Structure 1
Amino acid sequence: MSDATAPQPFNKEIPTDEEGKFRGYAKARADFLHVRLVVAACGALIIYIPHSWHFALITVIAVCLAEALDTISLNQSIKRLNSGAPLRPELRFSLYTAAFQALLFSGVVIGGAILQPRVTIDMFLICYLFAAVMNAGMLLYFNSAATYLRLLIYGITMILIISMRWMYFAGAPVLAYETAATLLLAYIAFRVIDFVENNFREQEQDKVNALSRQKSMKTQLEVYANKERHLLQLAAVAKHANDSVIVFDKTGRITWVNDAFTEITEYPRDEAIGRRAGTILNGPMTSPETVAKIEHAAATHSPLRIEIQYYTKSGDPIWVETNLVPLPSSPEMDGGMIAIERNITNSKLRQSELANAMRNAERSERAKSEFLATTSHEIRTPMNSIVGLTDLLSEHDLDPAAREYVVALQDSAQSLVRIVNDILDLSKLEAGKLKITPSVFEPGHFFNKLDNLMRPRAEAKGLSLSIDLPDDLPLLYADEGRIRQILVNLIDNAIKFTRSGGVTVAVQGARIANTCRFSVDVTDSGIGISESGMRRLFGYYAQAEDTTSQKYGGTGLGLAISRHLAREMGGDLTAVSHEGQGSCFSLFLPIACTDQSLEGIEEVTQIPEAPTANLAERTILVAEDNATNRMLMSKFLEKCGAEIVFAEDGQQAVDLFCAKQPDLILMDMQMPIFDGVEATSRIRALDAPQPYIVALTANAQKDDRDRCLKSGMDDFLTKPVRKVELLDTIYKVLADRPMMEKPLS
């Protein structure tokens, strides 16, 4: 069927998107297909029956085929769209089917005009074509491209029919009326199509506006619903919150409180509303300064967070943290403030308890530090005498038995010194004051000194000591003293727990870029460690076996401190052992390598030999309150050639300095009247040539060293001091130091 008789499509839901319009176009074409087929066939019969039944049949088949192909192709396009096909190809294809249908229909109309040019059927043809134009124009909104193409073809057809009429019936008066009627029909068609198109456009705009209003209204409703829900939630939170919530008006009077306010303050809501918070909650211990800050915040309408002490209705003091928030002024709200208050009474009590606990802990820490310092001093003072006297004894020509006794004394004294050092190191570990101080050193010289230190102990037990050292070890940048402390502890333990055989120290070092993977394995053939002992081997105050300390001695601190030191230097200390099969302790450290010259390192690490300079004209003042240590110092220094002067307290030290003008002072820290620090400060304050002052003290803590140096001392030696170390220090100081001017006697 043609477009001439298709009814106007009208959808209640006017589509606004391009695909929706195309679907509406296809649906309108398909819905009225049967009507168009019947009317188109009847029109073709009316046009062609007067001429020939054969032509009539052919034209009926042609117009029906065109309509059917157009509708079928549109249905296929809809199916493809449902399957996800793009819209643009389907729109283009609808142009082809529309052009085919319009051309075939126009051909039928033109054929009728040609076959019967002198019959008055031409007016029927014009009306028939006009109906097609009207029908096509009804779908302009849904598919404008296909509609304009149909209208173009129908317009050309209309012009051809009028032209043929003028060719066949030139000069007939009726032609003017027919032409005018045709133009009038064209104008009517234009107006009707424009009206329908505008109607659809208006409906489209109305729909868009309605959807926009609906969306806006929905959004507003959601906003209002969210606000209402939010307000309900806030109201529920405020009412049932554990914190007290108080609402004030702009005059500062309470307008609402929640249940928590009553629970905290014991004031019912009806007693609180209409009153000022300060009149019911402030008490004798409430801070006036805090009250003034709150009043200032309320007057300036500014937020404030502060702690204040209130009183309950029964008179009990409570602490609250109050958070004042100003309320905005609006037609619905008359301003004011809201206070959210949290009961922090228990927190305040805990803070007070914690502060007291902190003060007690600090006092305890100070007491412990003082105890350790006193203990260290009291132990090191007699140990200085023991170590010094055994060193003096070892210089004499002794029989083998006596020398064996002296060696045993020296070994015992060194064990006691190590125990004291371990206790001090532990206190530093617990206080976080144990520091790592790296320096450059040469590993070959380091292990030579270690061998000289440990070999006599091994040989005294009939054990062998072997140190396997590679030849290609680079210079190392690490804390030489801490590494020595770890290895001395490991080797000393290996010697202690080995009855026969020996101890092997295997050193390895592989350089990778600027880092050396430095490792030392200390292996012994001793008693070994059980599986249970391995689990607590590195714990503080613990030894591998319960009977170890009873049989071999020791505090159980050395390995724990050694592992801590290794980890502080970025490495670790591990152990492998089996009971009765010996042990192997492995120290691993990632150490920075250096390219510093070997000569510079040797100058630093080698202990200089005592110079042979004559100190006969020098004066050395020894400030020492312990008689045994004074006797020991006199023996150490009797052959140096210098004049030795002794002071028994701080006051004597200052007086003898003024009288003798010594070149060097060996200053003990703890002495009667005033200590060595005070004595040094007084000497430095005198307008006189200043001596070189060396602290010679049993106080071995780093804080003690810092105090000495801060007071004006130049160096620091820790008791027990060895004779060689003391003489080396004295010779090194006085070798290049100008002589002091001596007072006239």
Structure 2
Amino acid sequence: MPFSSFKVNESPESFRRRHSPAGRLARFAEWRLATIRSRSVVTIGCALVEALLHSAVWGAVMMAVILVGEVLDAFVLRRVVRALAARSEPLGRLRLKTVLSGALQAGSVAAGGVILWFGDPAPPAAFLAVAFLIGAILNAGVAVNHCPLPALSRLAILCGTLLGLFLHSFASGHISGDVLLGTALATALLLYWVAIFVRNIWRSESVNMRAGEAYVKGCEAMAAARAELEARQAALTLLSEVAEHMRDTVIICDAEGTVSWVNRAFTATTGFTAEEIIGHPPGEVLNAEGTDLAVAASIGQAMREGRPLRTRILNSSRSGRELWMEVQTNPILDADGRVLRTISVERDVTEDQRRAEELAAAREAAERSAQSKSEFLATMSHEIRTPMNGVVGMADLLCEADLPGDLGLYAETIHQSAELLLRVINDVLDLSKLDADQMSIAEVDFDLRAVIEDVALLLEPQARSKGLRFEVEMAQDLPGAVSGDDGRLRQILFNLVGNAIKFTSRGSVRIEVAARGQAEDATLEVAVTDTGIGIARESREAIFEKFGQAGPSVSREFGGTGLGLTISRLLARKMGGDVELDLHHGPGARFVLSLPLTPARGNEGAERAEPEIEEDRLAQLDVLVAEDNRTNRLLVEKYLHDRVAHLRFAQDGAGALALIRARVPDVVLMDMSMPVMGGLEATRAIRAGPGPQPVIVALTANAFAADRDACRAAGMDGFLSKPLRRDALLRELSRLTPPARVACAL
């Protein structure tokens, strides 16, 4: 074969490189250079025959012409081979050079054939010329399908020369007709066999080419398969090393759920060797006495169903030590979804479990502590407010008695001291409710300007009495009706403005009110500025802490619990705002309250409106009071004895039930905490009974939202906190006893 399609053990890269356009041209040039010797031998032989048959001169000329063409062709082809190797010239230019050199070489061969043809008119010379040219045609034809342009140029020149010789001889009579005809027939036959030979070579090369391509593809497929196999082997080796050296336990189970492999960490963690667990279900070896069998069953079910699972289970080591393991099962499925194996990664979380149990115990203890605190505060609230109810109530009555001289002063002093003590108690309870997140925030419509003016109106006399200037400035664009908790807003303003007056000896107290932003994003900003003692830099953080003040000397001079700012900030934050100290202001102090401004919703005064006291209506009521404290009974009797039609008393819930069975009153004032039967139990018993039902109002010293909820749940209609105020009692009776109920009572 002049050109080999592929070589044994040839790489795909080499095959493609040899069969590329540049590779084909290089192989064509190399083949031409390799066969130059054989062609020269043929040329020299034909030249000798010419010299013997006709003329030595013409034989020498023939040999010289042909060899010159071969030398020039070889010179060009060598340069082409070097240029292809160095990639120093474009492929098109090199191909053109081979076409030109091939044409030159073919022309020299054609010239030699002409010399042989015309050198002697005898038939042997013509036959020799034909054989010489057909040999050259054969040599050119075998390269047509491999490097077509140079081969076709040579074929065109050689075939044209052969045809031209026959036509010239036929026209000129250089060779007799019989000899010419015989020579033509012989030439045709030779060309036929040459064509068959060249075609077979082409077919053979095509077959070899397809075989080479198939071989290359097979090599590539094998290389890819080998690479994939090596990659998988490397991955498996890596995964095996990872699994083997993991600190977590790795357990591989087969489709039946028995262990087929474990890593080193399994032995290090559990103490069991691989031989002791392989072939057994994991739970058979690892389950402890305290293992939750439901959890173990869920792991087994997940493995059988081929679904992942993450859980914790209590295991036992070989030494009997309990191990809490976090288990993550990962199923491996076949193409049909059947379980092939399950890989379980388990981590020792014994310490985490212990800490979690300790945290749970600590949380439970904290919850019990919080519950105890709430119960303690509720008890203290009741224990303090119950006697305070008598102190405040009796002080109110004494102040209203128009006592002469110093007696009136004494009564007023008692009243003011009781109010101050009650304020301290309320501060502590408010803080407790905020800490327990039991402080409720109302959402009602109210007049913002009116609230600020009311606070200023109530506190201005205190400022004036100390000789302070008291100024209020409200922005023109301040909205009128807004939605929120006006009561808590009043409380915050009372704390801030009250503190400003309290800690200012001379100068002024100023309130500035403005609205920032627009529409739904608007913010209320109230700045309270004073020219008082100010706040030392080292005390600026402490003033918002519980029971914190600006320093021991301030506490001794001005007194107070130190809860006002703490409660104000907590309330403001619960309402979506804040209270902050202006660190750049001085002398004096400047506190800024910011709250979101919500537009009014059309329920103005829905929960804040206080009903008028309907004296005529109250005068027709039958009221039963269930109260175990004698002072409180006396106080209610003083409040109501000349206001209602009938007034009866019971010392506990059981006594109240007996009186109700005898005659159902219009209203029951029910203390929540009483001996024998408490107020909640008595209320539930009343609501469970047949017939008419009275209005039941809770009298309680407990101030938490949970207490109000308990009262509502038991069936109570109203709620009055102790210390009990006469106006609050009368308004609640007016609110809960509309004319229709009074008419029914009559």
TM-score of the pair, normalised by structure 2: 0.77
Percent of aligned pairs sharing the same letter:
31
Structure-2 change in CA distance of 1:211 and 1:62 (3 Å): closer
Aligned partners of 1:329 and 1:638: how far apart in 2?
A: 87
1:494 Cα deviation after fit: 1.5
Deviations 1:466-489 (A, max 9, x none): 332234333323333333332222
Q: What SS class does the counterpart of residue 537 from structure 1 fall into? A: helix
Q: SS at 2:560's partner residue? A: coil
Once the two structures are superposed, the pairs formed by residues 351-366 of structure 1 within 5 Å of their partners are 353-366=358-371
- In structure 2, what is the equivalent of residue 484 of structure 1? 490
Q: Check 1:210–1:511 CA distance in 2 against 1; reply closer, same or farther (3 A cut).
A: closer
- Answer yes or no: is 1:370 the counterpart of 2:378: no
Is residue 624–residue 647 contact of structure 2 (8 Å, CA) maintained in 1? Answer: yes
Distance 1:446 1:249, change over 3 A: closer
1:221 matches 2:217 = no
Map of 1:557 onto structure 2: 563
User: Partners in 1 of 2:280 and 2:36 — Cα distance?
Assistant: 90
Alignment partners' CA distance in 1, 2:302 and 2:262: 17
- 1:254–1:277 contact (8 Å) kept in structure 2: no
Aligned partner letter, 1:593: P
User: Does residue 1:714 correspond to 2:722, yes or no?
Assistant: no
RMSD: 5.2
CA contact (8 A) 1:118 1:168 kept: no
1:326-385 alpha-carbon deviations (Å, 9 max, x no partner) = 99999xxxx999998877766666565555444433332221111000111122223333
Please state how far the C-alpha of 1:582 moved relative to its aligned partner: 1.1
Whole-Å separation in 2 of the counterparts to 1:729 and 1:723: 10
3-state SS in 2 of match to 1:613: helix
Contact conserved, 2:622 with 2:666, CA < 8 A, in 1? yes
Q: Deviation at 1:66?
A: 11
1:534 equivalent to 2:537? Answer no
| Residue of structure 1 equivalent to 2:436 | 431
Letter of the 1:21 counterpart: S
2:212 is equivalent to residue 203 of structure 1: yes
> 2:249 touches 2:262 (CA, 8 Å); kept in 1?
no
Task: Give the structure 2 partner of residue 87 of structure 1.
Answer: none
Report what 2:163 is aligned to: 163
- Where structure 1 has 5 or more consecutive residues not aligned to the other structure, the ranges are 1-5, 82-89, 141-146
Matched residue, 1:447: 452
Whole-Å separation in 2 of the counterparts to 1:374 and 1:104? 125
Cα distance in 2, alignment partners of residues 56 and 279 from structure 1: 101
The equivalent residue for 2:174 is none
Is 1:566 aligned to 2:572, yes or no?
Answer: yes
C-alpha distance in structure 1 between counterparts of 2:244 and 2:580, whole Å: 63
1:689 aligns with: 692
The answer to whether the 8 Å contact 1:33/1:67 transfers is no
Deviation of the 1:706 alpha carbon: 0.3
2 CA distance for matches of 1:116 and 1:249?
90
> What per-residue deviation string (whole Å, max 9, x for no partner) do you get for residues 278-332 of structure 1?
999889x66796799699989989999774575866xx663555969899999xx
Which position in structure 1 is the counterpart of 2:523? 517
Given that residues 73 and 104 in structure 2 are in contact (C-alpha distance below 8 angstroms), is that contact kept between their aligned partners in structure 1?
A: no
Distance in 1, Cα, partners of 2:410 & 2:659:
40
Which residue is equivalent to 1:468? 473
Q: Contact conserved, 1:664 with 1:694, CA < 8 A, in 2?
A: yes
Against the structure 1 CA distance between its residues 252 and 662, is the aligned structure 2 distance closer, same or farther, given a 3 Å change threshold? Answer: same
Query: Which segment drifts farther, 720-729 or 227-236?
Result: 227-236
CA distance in 2, matches of 1:541, 1:419: 11
Residue by residue over 1:368-410, the C-alpha shift from the partner in whole angstroms, topping out at 9 and shown as x without a partner, is 1110001111222233333334444444557898777666655
Q: Which moved more, 1:727-736 or 1:226-235?
A: 226-235
Structure 1 residues 404 and 526: CA distance shift in structure 2, 3 A: farther
Deviates more, 1:395-404 or 1:353-362: 395-404
Q: What residue ranges of structure 2 are gaps of 5+ in the alignment?
A: 51-56, 120-125, 171-176, 335-339
Matched to 2:703, the amino acid is A
Shift in CA distance, 325/592, structure 1 to aligned 2, threshold 3 Å: closer
SS across alignment from 2:742: coil
Shift of the 126–377 alpha-carbon distance from structure 1 to 2, 3 Å rule, reads same
Residue 53 (structure 2) aligns with: none
Q: Is the 8 A contact 2:77 2:98 kept in 1?
A: no
Q: Distance in 2 between matches of 1:312 and 1:113?
A: 102
Distance in 2 (CA, whole Å) between partners of 1:406 and 1:460 is 22
Q: Which moved more, 1:300-309 or 1:581-590?
A: 300-309
Which of residues 171, 182, 187 in structure 1 aligns to 2:196? Answer: 187
Q: Distance in 2 between matches of 1:116 and 1:273?
A: 94
1:731 and 2:730 matched: no
Contact 2:382/2:701 (8 A) holds in 1 = yes
- 1:718, CA displacement in angstroms? 1.6
2:322 paired residue number: 318
Residue 422 (structure 1) aligned with residue 427 (structure 2): yes
What is the number of equivalent residue pairs in this alignment?
709
State the AA in 2 paired with 1:484.
Answer: R
TM-score normalized by structure 1?
A: 0.77
Q: List aligned pairs for 1:534-683, cutoff 5 A.
A: 534-576=540-582, 581-594=587-600, 596=601, 601=604, 605-611=608-614, 613-683=616-686
Shift of the 30–488 alpha-carbon distance from structure 1 to 2, 3 Å rule, reads: farther
Structure 1 residues 49-448: aligned runs within 5 Å = 64=72, 68=76, 75=83, 79=87, 118-119=118-119, 120=126, 121=129, 123-135=131-143, 137=145, 140=146, 147-170=147-170, 171=177, 172=180, 173-237=182-246, 307=313, 318=322, 321=325, 353-395=358-400, 397=402, 411-448=416-453
**CA deviation digits over 1:9-64, x for unaligned, max 9?**
988656444797134235446667877999999989989x9599999889968994
Residue identity opposite 2:322 in structure 1: I
Once the two structures are superposed, residues 518-537 of structure 1 have per-residue CA deviations (whole angstroms, 9 ceiling, x without a partner) of 11111122211000001322
Deviates more, 1:435-444 or 1:344-353: 344-353
Mapped partners of 1:189, 1:278: distance in 2: 80
What is the CA–CA distance in structure 2 between the aligned matches of 1:623 and 1:21, rounded to whole Å?
A: 112
What is the one-letter code of the residue matched to 1:75?
A
Instruction: Report the equivalent of 1:144.
Output: none
Aligned to 2:708: 705
Query: Does the CA-based 8 Å contact 2:26-2:81 persist in structure 1?
Result: no
Residues 287/656 of structure 1: CA separation in 2 closer, same or farther (3 Å cut): same
Residues 325 and 242 from structure 1, CA distance in 2 versus in 1: closer, same or farther, beyond 3 angstroms?
closer
SS of alignment partner, residue 522 of structure 2: strand
- The 3 A distance-change label for structure 1 pair 532 and 676 is same
Distance 2:497 2:709 in 1: 32
CA–CA distance in 2 between the matches of 1:725 and 1:732? 10
More deviation, 619-628/293-302: 293-302
Contact between 1:40 and 1:63, CA under 8 Å: does it hold in 2? no
Q: Compared with structure 1, are the counterparts of its residues 232 and 530 closer, same or farther at alpha carbon in structure 2 (3 Å cutoff)?
A: closer
Is the CA contact 1:165–1:175 (under 8 Å) kept in the aligned structure 2?
Answer: no
**What secondary structure does 2:505 align onto?**
coil
